[in-house]
Chain A
Amino acid sequence: MSPTRDPLGRPVVAVTGIGLATPLGFGVAESWAGLLAGRSGIRRITRFPTEHLKTAIAGQMDLPEEAGRGPFSSPERVERMAAMTTEEALTMAGLGGRTGFPGPLFLGMPPVEVEWPQRLDLARKIDREGALRYADLVSAAEGREELFEGFLFGGVAARLADRFGTRGAPISISTACATGASSIQLGVEAIQRGETEAALCIGAEGSVQPEALIRFSLLSALSTRNEDPARASRPFDKTRDGFVMSEGAATLVLESLESACARGARVLGLVLGCGERADSFHRTRSNPDGGAIIGAMRAAIEDAGLEPGQIDYVNAHGTGTPENDKMETLGMRAVFGDAPPPISSNKSMIGHSLSAAGAIEAVFSLLTIRDQRLPPTINHETPDPAIPLDVVPNVARDAKVQRVLSNSFGFGGQNVCLVLGAAP
């Protein structure tokens, strides 16, 4: 019988269900197979015209039910993908069903706003001479309850909570690129506090639309290698030129180990620790001393009751921006010294799924432990002498992996790291 309390006396948190939707495929099996094969899910954007855009590639996810109609809005895409991965995770966990899910919902998702198709739809209804004013749009929107419920910030989570019968008030969280990891952290804390025996944690992203793409472009954050999409996302490579926006979702069913064992559930792995640290340096850059990144990595390892030397592999934040990869390298060397464990970036294949990334990467970390196989960093063609790390270049390989550190570092200085471990 393995201990069901951690060294701090808190309930040990197990993962009993996972679900994935990534640009490599719908479902855990297809996504993971693509990742191990070193396949890229990045391609030319077909959802909308890309004239006048510096970046015309993304990890665009088309949903089957979108065929033959206009594209879904971001909240609708997020909701549908989150529902899909949650169905998969609940089936695996054998939880939910008619009585509903026995715990709260934590949803990592992007901020929501009325988008251009809706705005233009309102504008076309205005029958008035002279310059168009916002007041006219508002007047055309009055009483359109589907707009209200569709674009409320709490709307997606409320509908998912209703669908899966989760308990209490759902929490929607946004911590930029750390969002997916934050949703898991909230679930872990709720179980550790004894508020619940189970938590449903989701990260979902569906923001490949013109305005979001342009906004990131204006920050010079995106790769512009439009001619060769599969080779555009190049984390840790010397020729990296930015990240590639993508979409996707992941769901994790968390349970106290005690409760999972009591109901005879299959435990896929454990969430051993969570660490976070905010940066006060700049809106889009880390402090050059790496303090917050290092602090978050160390805090997660310490929260797991481990020493850095006990981490076997790091699932990188690894966005492929010149800045991130340099800072992450600094963090790796500071935390692990001269002999850091191997680190690879899933984003080389699936791009940066922003609000979903932390959750997707936590699932991939668990699969890495399950299969004892490290997914590669593809497009590693020109090593960067400033990055003295084993990035598992280009080809997956077998390794002995018991504990994984998964990094998530966000714009606005929000950094969250998770330590995932093998099932006892």
Chain B
Amino acid sequence: MTQPAAPEEVWITGVGLVSSLGEGAAPHLAALERPVPQPVLDEEGFAPFPIHPLPPLDLDRQIPRKGDQRQMEPWQRLGTYAAGLALDDAGARDRVSDMHLVVAAGGGERDVALDEQIAAELARMPPERAGHVLNARLAGGLRPTLFLAQLSNLLAGNISIVHGVTGSSRTFMGEEQSAAEAVRVAAARLREGRGGIALVGGAYAAGRWDMLLVYAASGGLWRGPWAPLAGRLPRGGMVTGSAGAFLVLETATHARARGARGLARIAAVASTAARRRGEDTAHAAAGRLATPLLSALRPGYAVLSGATGMPVPTAAESAFLAWLRDAGPAQGAVRFTADLIGHSVEASFPANLGLAALAIGAGRQPQALVTGFGMWRGEALALLEPVTEGAAA
């Protein structure tokens, strides 16, 4: 690494965004402008839980080899697809060999039919016999390729294979917070001169019983017909949404040198994890993250809230935003992105940064504060601003 004399400015020069609303800038900018959300929903397929489904994807455009498509399941395909969109948006296909990659990942799809079949058979069996039969059914039923499609780090692996991103590859795990840390670490490395360009993001496929099982266990999934986040309170409830969201981050120097346009500048990204008990609340933790940003906030700054709908963090975020209204300049509109595209767990923070970057890049917002209060743990903030000079380079 070569150390810059002063910390580098980091820009978002590419956004790859896929959600139930569609792909790319247009449907997402339109959704941000609409005063009343018009979400795309599937209320039957995973009833009683509504979800925001995947849009149809022309996979061949981003994953040209059928062999690669077959090695993945929807979650990895969605992420790999969105990563390709980000590279295209940044015009950075020729920079992939030295591009650093940080992915926030959950797990890939299980073979749901096989699980159902085995669970049905073994549930009626004495446990001492069940173990033997489990081995036989798994050994005979599991497809070899499915293992790789399930492995968390293989989303990054597929992005390397399909798009050639090989500077480095790291996969962070841990729901929403893993993505906030992924963005923070990727930006911090660029700022200190460890490379000039990075790809960071995540994906979440909401239409999956195996994932719903874990989140349903929280007791916090919203049941029945969809309602906007404000209408779900105070009891709360989470509606998950499919999304693939990747960002190309780049130092201003690197972007200028290749004549790339910056959509937005990352003025700050910070995250922490309150224990959420006693005085160590999410509200207080976010307040500590926001305090150094107060002087940078401009009147009318927009808030893109990643609120999940889970009661505890959503209430904490309301209290935090109220505190911020008192402590800082006049707050602009607060949008709950979960009302537009659902809550997309690992993809949520990068998707919301992507939405903010698109809005700023299109000149629709003077500044945007992105929040990420995780459903169980993790508090994150990012402040995006217009790129001030050299923007048209």
Q: Interface of A with B (CB < 8 Å)?
A: 8-10, 48-54, 109, 111-114, 116, 119-120, 122-124, 126, 131-135, 137-139, 141-145, 147-149, 151-155, 157-158, 161-162, 168-176, 182, 186, 189, 193, 195, 210-211, 214-219, 276-284, 292, 303, 410-414
Contact = CB atoms under 8 A, between A and B. Distances in A.
A149 B170 CA distance: 24
Contact of B161 (A51, A131, A152, A281): A281
Contacts of A217: 139
B135 A49 contact: yes
A146 to B, nearest CB: 8
B107 A111 contact: yes
Contact of A210 (B110, B135, B271, B378): B135
Contacts of B189: 189
14 contacts: A111-B151, A114-B214, A145-B219, A152-B174, A153-B173, A158-B174, A171-B172, A172-B173, A214-B135, A215-B147, A280-B164, A283-B154, A283-B161, A414-B157
A120 B123 contact: yes
B273 A161 contact: yes
Given A145-B217, A279-B160, A283-B148, A175 B170 contact: yes
Interface residues on B, range: 35 or more
A102 to B, nearest CB: 15
B213 interface: yes
B82 to A, nearest CB: 18
Given A175-B156, A215-B142, 20 more contacts: A49-B135, A52-B136, A112-B107, A116-B134, A120-B130, A133-B116, A135-B47, A138-B216, A145-B217, A151-B214, A154-B174, A158-B376, A169-B177, A176-B153, A218-B143, A276-B168, A278-B167, A280-B165, A292-B166, A414-B153
Given A9-B3, A124-B123, A283-B157, A219 B168 contact: no
Given A214-B142, A283-B154, A412-B156, A173 B161 contact: no
Contacts of B178: 153-154, 171-172
Given A168-B272, A175-B169, A132 B119 contact: yes
Nearest to B149: A283
B152 interface: yes
A303 B119 CA distance: 51
Interface stretch (B26-34, B180-188, B227-235, B249-257): B180-188
B131 interface: yes
Contacts of B221: 142
Contact of B144 (A169, A218, A292): A218
Contacts of A49: 131-132, 135
B43 interface: no
A193 B185 CA distance: 11
Contacts of B101: 278
B134 to A, nearest CB: 6
Nearest to A166: B273
B73 interface: no
Nearest to B146: A215
A413 B101 CA distance: 12
Given A119-B115, A413-B161, A154 B169 contact: no
A143 B220 CA distance: 8
A52 B135 CA distance: 6
A152 B216 contact: no
B212 interface: yes
Contacts of B150: 111, 215
Given A154-B175, A217-B139, A413 B160 contact: yes
Query: 7 tightest A-B contacts by CB?
Result: A412-B157, A154-B174, A134-B209, A123-B123, A278-B169, A132-B120, A148-B217
Contacts of B209: 134-135, 137-138
B281 interface: no
B217 A141 contact: yes
B178 to A, nearest CB: 7
Contact of B174 (A8, A54, A157): A157
A8 B166 contact: no
A119 B157 contact: no
A145 to B, nearest CB: 6
Given A138-B216, A147-B217, A414 B120 contact: no
Contacts of B115: 119, 134, 137
Contacts of A284: 148
Interface in B180-223: 180-181, 185, 188-189, 192, 194, 209-210, 212-219, 221
B376 A149 contact: yes
Contacts of B194: 189
Given A113-B107, A153-B175, A411 B157 contact: yes
A282 B46 CA distance: 35
A282 B130 CA distance: 36
B106 interface: yes
B263 to A, nearest CB: 25
B71 interface: yes
B348 to A, nearest CB: 13
A173 B172 contact: yes
B169 A174 contact: no
B218 to A, nearest CB: 4
A142 B219 contact: yes
B169 A412 contact: yes
Nearest to B143: A218
A151 B170 CA distance: 21
Contacts of B192: 193
Contact of A152 (B156, B158, B214): B214
Contacts of B144: 218-219
B138 interface: yes
Interface in B344-375: 374
